[in-house]
Amino acid sequence: MSDESAEIQLKSLAEQAISQPLVTHIYTADPSAHVFDGAIYIYPSHDIEGGVPFNDNGDHFCMEDYHVFRMASPDSVAVDCGVALHVKDVPWAERQMWAPDAACKDGQYYLYFPAKRADGIFQIGVAVADRPEGPFAPEPEAIAGSYSIDPAVHADDDGAFYMFFGGIWGGQLQKYRDNTYAEAHQEPRDDEPALGPRVARLSADMKQFAEAPREIRILDESGQPLLASDHDRRYFEGPWMHRYQGKYYLSYSTGNTHFLCYATSDNPYGPFTYQGQILTEVVGWTTHHSICEVDGRWYLFYHDSILSGGVTHLRSIKMTELRYDEQGRIITLHPYGK
Protein backbone atom coordinates (compact mmCIF):
# COMPACT_ATOMS: atom_id res chain seq x y z
CA MET A 1 0.00 0.00 0.00
CA SER A 2 1.38 3.43 -0.94
CA ASP A 3 1.82 6.19 1.64
CA GLU A 4 -0.94 8.15 -0.04
CA SER A 5 -3.45 5.31 0.00
CA ALA A 6 -2.57 4.51 3.62
CA GLU A 7 -3.21 8.14 4.54
CA ILE A 8 -6.57 8.06 2.78
CA GLN A 9 -7.51 4.85 4.57
CA LEU A 10 -6.58 6.30 7.97
CA LYS A 11 -8.61 9.43 7.26
CA SER A 12 -11.60 7.28 6.35
CA LEU A 13 -11.26 5.24 9.55
CA ALA A 14 -10.96 8.42 11.61
CA GLU A 15 -14.22 9.69 10.11
CA GLN A 16 -15.97 6.39 10.83
CA ALA A 17 -14.60 6.03 14.35
CA ILE A 18 -17.11 5.59 17.16
CA SER A 19 -15.09 8.00 19.34
CA GLN A 20 -12.42 10.66 18.98
CA PRO A 21 -9.20 11.10 20.98
CA LEU A 22 -9.70 12.55 24.43
CA VAL A 23 -6.19 14.04 24.35
CA THR A 24 -4.39 15.50 21.34
CA HIS A 25 -1.50 17.63 22.70
CA ILE A 26 0.50 14.56 23.77
CA TYR A 27 0.26 10.86 22.96
CA THR A 28 -1.41 8.69 25.59
CA ALA A 29 -2.30 5.00 25.87
CA ASP A 30 -3.47 2.24 28.20
CA PRO A 31 -6.12 4.34 30.00
CA SER A 32 -7.13 3.25 33.49
CA ALA A 33 -10.26 5.18 34.46
CA HIS A 34 -11.89 5.66 37.86
CA VAL A 35 -14.48 7.91 39.46
CA PHE A 36 -12.83 9.70 42.38
CA ASP A 37 -14.32 12.69 44.23
CA GLY A 38 -17.21 12.92 41.76
CA ALA A 39 -15.02 13.24 38.64
CA ILE A 40 -13.50 10.83 36.14
CA TYR A 41 -9.75 10.44 36.50
CA ILE A 42 -7.77 8.71 33.77
CA TYR A 43 -4.32 7.25 34.39
CA PRO A 44 -2.70 6.49 31.01
CA SER A 45 0.77 5.79 29.72
CA HIS A 46 2.52 8.78 28.11
CA ASP A 47 3.88 7.74 24.72
CA ILE A 48 7.00 9.44 23.39
CA GLU A 49 9.29 8.93 20.42
CA GLY A 50 12.45 7.40 21.86
CA GLY A 51 14.15 6.49 18.60
CA VAL A 52 14.42 2.80 19.54
CA PRO A 53 13.92 0.25 16.71
CA PHE A 54 10.76 -1.87 16.79
CA ASN A 55 10.95 -5.38 18.25
CA ASP A 56 8.69 -7.97 19.87
CA ASN A 57 9.94 -7.02 23.34
CA GLY A 58 8.46 -3.54 22.97
CA ASP A 59 11.72 -1.69 23.53
CA HIS A 60 10.35 1.10 21.33
CA PHE A 61 7.75 1.89 24.02
CA CYS A 62 9.99 4.34 25.86
CA MET A 63 7.54 6.01 28.25
CA GLU A 64 9.18 7.82 31.16
CA ASP A 65 6.43 9.65 33.06
CA TYR A 66 2.70 9.77 33.79
CA HIS A 67 0.13 12.52 33.27
CA VAL A 68 -3.28 12.30 34.98
CA PHE A 69 -6.41 13.57 33.20
CA ARG A 70 -9.64 14.74 34.83
CA MET A 71 -13.10 14.85 33.24
CA ALA A 72 -16.05 16.48 35.02
CA SER A 73 -18.43 14.20 33.09
CA PRO A 74 -18.33 11.75 30.17
CA ASP A 75 -19.14 14.62 27.79
CA SER A 76 -16.57 17.10 29.09
CA VAL A 77 -13.01 17.74 27.95
CA ALA A 78 -10.11 15.84 29.48
CA VAL A 79 -8.00 18.28 31.51
CA ASP A 80 -4.28 17.54 31.79
CA CYS A 81 -3.37 17.74 35.48
CA GLY A 82 0.34 17.65 34.67
CA VAL A 83 3.14 15.22 35.41
CA ALA A 84 2.16 12.98 38.30
CA LEU A 85 5.32 10.87 38.45
CA HIS A 86 8.60 10.65 36.50
CA VAL A 87 10.96 7.70 36.28
CA LYS A 88 13.86 9.82 37.50
CA ASP A 89 12.05 10.15 40.85
CA VAL A 90 11.70 6.38 41.35
CA PRO A 91 14.85 5.04 43.05
CA TRP A 92 14.53 1.44 41.87
CA ALA A 93 13.37 2.11 38.27
CA GLU A 94 15.49 2.87 35.22
CA ARG A 95 13.16 3.02 32.19
CA GLN A 96 9.91 2.06 30.43
CA MET A 97 7.11 3.16 32.72
CA TRP A 98 4.33 1.21 31.06
CA ALA A 99 0.57 0.94 31.74
CA PRO A 100 -0.41 2.11 35.26
CA ASP A 101 -3.50 2.02 37.44
CA ALA A 102 -4.71 3.81 40.55
CA ALA A 103 -6.78 3.14 43.66
CA CYS A 104 -8.19 5.11 46.57
CA LYS A 105 -8.43 4.06 50.20
CA ASP A 106 -9.14 6.20 53.27
CA GLY A 107 -8.50 9.46 51.46
CA GLN A 108 -5.13 8.39 50.05
CA TYR A 109 -4.49 7.72 46.36
CA TYR A 110 -2.16 5.02 45.11
CA LEU A 111 -0.55 4.89 41.67
CA TYR A 112 0.64 1.42 40.63
CA PHE A 113 3.10 1.21 37.75
CA PRO A 114 5.52 -1.20 36.08
CA ALA A 115 9.06 -0.21 35.16
CA LYS A 116 12.32 -1.91 34.32
CA ARG A 117 15.07 -2.09 36.86
CA ALA A 118 18.67 -1.52 35.79
CA ASP A 119 18.98 -5.25 35.04
CA GLY A 120 16.15 -5.08 32.49
CA ILE A 121 13.59 -6.96 34.61
CA PHE A 122 10.15 -5.47 35.12
CA GLN A 123 8.71 -4.96 38.59
CA ILE A 124 5.67 -3.09 39.86
CA GLY A 125 5.91 -0.08 42.15
CA VAL A 126 3.52 2.12 44.07
CA ALA A 127 3.43 5.86 44.71
CA VAL A 128 1.15 7.76 47.08
CA ALA A 129 -0.64 11.13 46.96
CA ASP A 130 -3.24 13.12 48.88
CA ARG A 131 -5.09 14.03 45.66
CA PRO A 132 -6.21 11.84 42.76
CA GLU A 133 -4.12 13.84 40.28
CA GLY A 134 -0.98 13.68 42.40
CA PRO A 135 1.87 14.47 42.36
CA PHE A 136 2.71 10.99 43.65
CA ALA A 137 5.60 10.15 45.96
CA PRO A 138 7.07 6.72 45.10
CA GLU A 139 8.02 4.10 47.61
CA PRO A 140 11.79 3.53 47.60
CA GLU A 141 11.50 -0.12 46.57
CA ALA A 142 9.27 -2.06 44.20
CA ILE A 143 6.51 -4.19 45.67
CA ALA A 144 8.15 -7.33 47.05
CA GLY A 145 7.22 -10.38 44.98
CA SER A 146 5.88 -8.31 42.08
CA TYR A 147 6.87 -8.91 38.48
CA SER A 148 5.83 -8.36 34.86
CA ILE A 149 3.56 -5.48 33.79
CA ASP A 150 0.05 -4.01 33.61
CA PRO A 151 -1.11 -3.72 37.22
CA ALA A 152 -4.87 -3.27 37.61
CA VAL A 153 -6.29 -2.86 41.11
CA HIS A 154 -9.88 -3.83 41.85
CA ALA A 155 -11.68 -2.57 44.97
CA ASP A 156 -14.08 -5.34 45.95
CA ASP A 157 -17.39 -4.90 47.72
CA ASP A 158 -16.02 -6.31 50.98
CA GLY A 159 -13.24 -3.72 51.19
CA ALA A 160 -10.46 -5.93 49.87
CA PHE A 161 -8.20 -4.72 47.07
CA TYR A 162 -6.79 -7.12 44.50
CA MET A 163 -4.04 -6.49 41.98
CA PHE A 164 -4.25 -8.25 38.62
CA PHE A 165 -1.14 -8.11 36.47
CA GLY A 166 1.04 -9.75 33.84
CA GLY A 167 1.86 -9.67 30.14
CA ILE A 168 3.75 -12.07 27.88
CA TRP A 169 6.50 -11.31 25.35
CA GLY A 170 7.96 -7.94 26.38
CA GLY A 171 6.06 -8.15 29.66
CA GLN A 172 8.20 -11.17 30.62
CA LEU A 173 5.34 -13.21 32.15
CA GLN A 174 6.47 -16.28 30.19
CA LYS A 175 9.72 -16.24 32.18
CA TYR A 176 7.95 -17.02 35.47
CA ARG A 177 6.82 -20.29 37.00
CA ASP A 178 5.51 -20.35 40.58
CA ASN A 179 6.46 -16.66 40.88
CA THR A 180 10.12 -17.40 40.11
CA TYR A 181 12.03 -16.00 37.14
CA ALA A 182 14.21 -18.13 34.90
CA GLU A 183 15.56 -17.00 31.55
CA ALA A 184 15.09 -20.52 30.16
CA HIS A 185 11.31 -20.42 30.63
CA GLN A 186 9.29 -19.85 27.44
CA GLU A 187 5.63 -19.67 26.44
CA PRO A 188 3.77 -22.99 26.75
CA ARG A 189 3.55 -25.29 23.74
CA ASP A 190 0.48 -24.90 21.53
CA ASP A 191 -1.22 -27.93 23.09
CA GLU A 192 -0.64 -26.74 26.67
CA PRO A 193 -2.82 -24.35 28.71
CA ALA A 194 -2.12 -20.70 27.97
CA LEU A 195 -0.53 -18.55 30.62
CA GLY A 196 -3.00 -16.57 32.70
CA PRO A 197 -2.75 -13.25 34.50
CA ARG A 198 -1.69 -13.14 38.13
CA VAL A 199 -3.71 -11.91 41.09
CA ALA A 200 -2.74 -11.02 44.65
CA ARG A 201 -4.67 -9.34 47.44
CA LEU A 202 -3.04 -6.14 48.64
CA SER A 203 -1.99 -5.47 52.22
CA ALA A 204 -3.95 -3.11 54.44
CA ASP A 205 -1.51 -0.26 53.71
CA MET A 206 -1.92 -0.82 49.92
CA LYS A 207 1.86 -0.98 49.46
CA GLN A 208 2.59 -4.70 49.45
CA PHE A 209 1.06 -8.05 48.59
CA ALA A 210 -0.80 -9.74 51.44
CA GLU A 211 -0.24 -13.12 49.77
CA ALA A 212 1.79 -14.77 47.06
CA PRO A 213 0.48 -14.06 43.55
CA ARG A 214 -1.48 -16.89 41.98
CA GLU A 215 -2.28 -17.65 38.36
CA ILE A 216 -5.81 -17.26 37.02
CA ARG A 217 -7.14 -19.93 34.68
CA ILE A 218 -9.42 -18.95 31.80
CA LEU A 219 -11.64 -21.80 30.61
CA ASP A 220 -13.61 -22.44 27.45
CA GLU A 221 -17.33 -23.23 27.31
CA SER A 222 -16.58 -26.89 28.11
CA GLY A 223 -14.62 -26.05 31.24
CA GLN A 224 -11.24 -26.77 29.66
CA PRO A 225 -8.34 -24.29 29.91
CA LEU A 226 -7.80 -22.11 26.86
CA LEU A 227 -4.74 -23.38 25.02
CA ALA A 228 -1.65 -21.42 24.10
CA SER A 229 -2.51 -21.93 20.43
CA ASP A 230 -5.91 -20.22 20.84
CA HIS A 231 -4.61 -16.75 20.01
CA ASP A 232 -8.08 -15.30 19.42
CA ARG A 233 -9.14 -15.98 23.01
CA ARG A 234 -6.12 -16.62 25.19
CA TYR A 235 -4.70 -14.05 27.60
CA PHE A 236 -1.79 -11.87 26.48
CA GLU A 237 -1.71 -8.70 28.63
CA GLY A 238 -3.73 -5.79 29.99
CA PRO A 239 -6.00 -7.34 32.65
CA TRP A 240 -8.93 -5.37 34.04
CA MET A 241 -11.52 -6.38 36.61
CA HIS A 242 -15.00 -5.03 37.21
CA ARG A 243 -18.23 -6.37 38.67
CA TYR A 244 -21.63 -6.33 37.01
CA GLN A 245 -24.78 -7.86 38.48
CA GLY A 246 -22.72 -9.73 41.06
CA LYS A 247 -20.34 -11.33 38.56
CA TYR A 248 -16.63 -10.70 38.21
CA TYR A 249 -15.65 -9.68 34.69
CA LEU A 250 -11.99 -10.21 33.79
CA SER A 251 -11.17 -8.42 30.54
CA TYR A 252 -7.87 -8.45 28.70
CA SER A 253 -5.97 -8.09 25.44
CA THR A 254 -5.18 -11.05 23.18
CA GLY A 255 -2.05 -9.24 22.00
CA ASN A 256 -0.98 -10.47 18.57
CA THR A 257 -4.59 -10.97 17.43
CA HIS A 258 -5.56 -7.50 18.70
CA PHE A 259 -8.88 -8.21 20.44
CA LEU A 260 -10.22 -7.10 23.80
CA CYS A 261 -11.97 -10.11 25.33
CA TYR A 262 -13.59 -11.01 28.64
CA ALA A 263 -14.39 -13.92 30.90
CA THR A 264 -16.61 -14.19 33.99
CA SER A 265 -16.52 -15.87 37.39
CA ASP A 266 -18.14 -15.88 40.81
CA ASN A 267 -14.71 -15.52 42.46
CA PRO A 268 -11.96 -12.93 41.93
CA TYR A 269 -9.42 -15.76 41.88
CA GLY A 270 -11.33 -17.59 39.17
CA PRO A 271 -11.42 -19.81 37.30
CA PHE A 272 -13.01 -17.57 34.65
CA THR A 273 -15.09 -18.76 31.71
CA TYR A 274 -14.50 -17.08 28.36
CA GLN A 275 -17.51 -15.10 27.10
CA GLY A 276 -16.55 -13.12 24.00
CA GLN A 277 -15.04 -10.00 22.50
CA ILE A 278 -15.48 -6.48 23.84
CA LEU A 279 -13.66 -4.60 21.08
CA THR A 280 -12.36 -5.68 17.68
CA GLU A 281 -9.04 -4.52 16.24
CA VAL A 282 -7.94 -0.90 16.46
CA VAL A 283 -5.33 0.87 14.32
CA GLY A 284 -1.94 0.09 15.86
CA TRP A 285 -0.49 -3.15 17.18
CA THR A 286 -1.51 -2.81 20.81
CA THR A 287 -4.92 -2.73 22.43
CA HIS A 288 -5.38 -1.95 26.13
CA HIS A 289 -8.38 -0.70 28.10
CA SER A 290 -10.35 -0.15 31.27
CA ILE A 291 -14.06 -0.26 32.11
CA CYS A 292 -15.67 2.27 34.44
CA GLU A 293 -19.20 2.95 35.66
CA VAL A 294 -20.22 6.63 35.69
CA ASP A 295 -23.65 7.62 37.04
CA GLY A 296 -25.14 4.21 36.27
CA ARG A 297 -23.73 3.96 32.73
CA TRP A 298 -20.72 1.96 31.69
CA TYR A 299 -17.83 3.17 29.56
CA LEU A 300 -14.93 1.52 27.77
CA PHE A 301 -11.66 3.46 27.75
CA TYR A 302 -9.18 2.33 25.10
CA HIS A 303 -6.65 3.68 22.59
CA ASP A 304 -5.64 3.60 18.95
CA SER A 305 -2.90 5.08 16.73
CA ILE A 306 -4.93 7.05 14.19
CA LEU A 307 -3.85 10.49 15.43
CA SER A 308 -0.17 9.63 14.88
CA GLY A 309 -0.83 8.28 11.39
CA GLY A 310 -0.73 4.66 12.52
CA VAL A 311 2.52 4.73 14.52
CA THR A 312 2.12 1.84 16.94
CA HIS A 313 3.95 3.41 19.87
CA LEU A 314 2.30 6.83 19.56
CA ARG A 315 -1.28 6.27 20.66
CA SER A 316 -4.32 8.27 21.79
CA ILE A 317 -6.85 7.43 24.49
CA LYS A 318 -10.56 7.25 23.69
CA MET A 319 -13.81 6.33 25.41
CA THR A 320 -17.21 5.03 24.34
CA GLU A 321 -20.30 3.72 26.08
CA LEU A 322 -20.39 0.02 26.87
CA ARG A 323 -23.63 -1.96 26.84
CA TYR A 324 -24.78 -5.36 28.10
CA ASP A 325 -27.57 -7.59 26.88
CA GLU A 326 -30.27 -9.06 29.14
CA GLN A 327 -28.01 -12.00 30.03
CA GLY A 328 -25.22 -9.69 31.14
CA ARG A 329 -23.10 -10.32 28.05
CA ILE A 330 -21.09 -7.37 26.79
CA ILE A 331 -22.16 -6.25 23.32
CA THR A 332 -19.13 -6.27 21.03
CA LEU A 333 -17.94 -2.87 19.83
CA HIS A 334 -16.31 -2.16 16.46
CA PRO A 335 -14.06 0.90 16.74
CA TYR A 336 -14.68 2.11 13.19
CA GLY A 337 -18.16 0.72 12.63
CA LYS A 338 -19.01 -2.59 10.99
- Contact between residue 325 and residue 331 where contact means Cβ atoms under 8 Å apart: yes
Query: Does position 138 have pLDDT exceeding 60, yes or no?
Result: yes
Handedness of CA 101, 68, 64, 126 (dihedral sign): negative
Interval 38-62 mean pLDDT: 94
The pLDDT, as a whole number, for residue 81 is 98
Question: What's the pLDDT score for residue 178?
Answer: 96
pTM surpassing 0.95? Answer: yes
pLDDT score, position 165: 98
- pLDDT of 218 higher than 70: yes
pLDDT-derived band at 8 (thresholds 50, 70, 90) equals confident
Nearest to 31, CA basis, from 330, 297, 290, 293 = 290
For residue 75, the model assigns a pLDDT of: 96
Q: Average pLDDT, whole number, for the chain?
A: 97
Q: How far apart are the first and last CA of the chain?
A: 22
Could you read off the pLDDT of 96-119 as tens digits, one per residue?
999 999 999 999 999 999 999 999
Among residues 141, 285, 274, 297, the alpha carbon closest in space to that of 209 is found at 141
Percent of the chain with pLDDT over 90: 96
Is the C-alpha dihedral spanning 186, 190, 193, 194 positive or negative?
Answer: positive
Region 247-265 average pLDDT: 98
What are the catalytic residues? 30, 237
The answer, yes or no, to whether residue 1 has pLDDT greater than 50, is no
Residues in contact with 273: Cβ distance below 8 Å, sequence separation at least 6, in sequence order: 218, 219, 220, 221, 223, 263, 264, 265
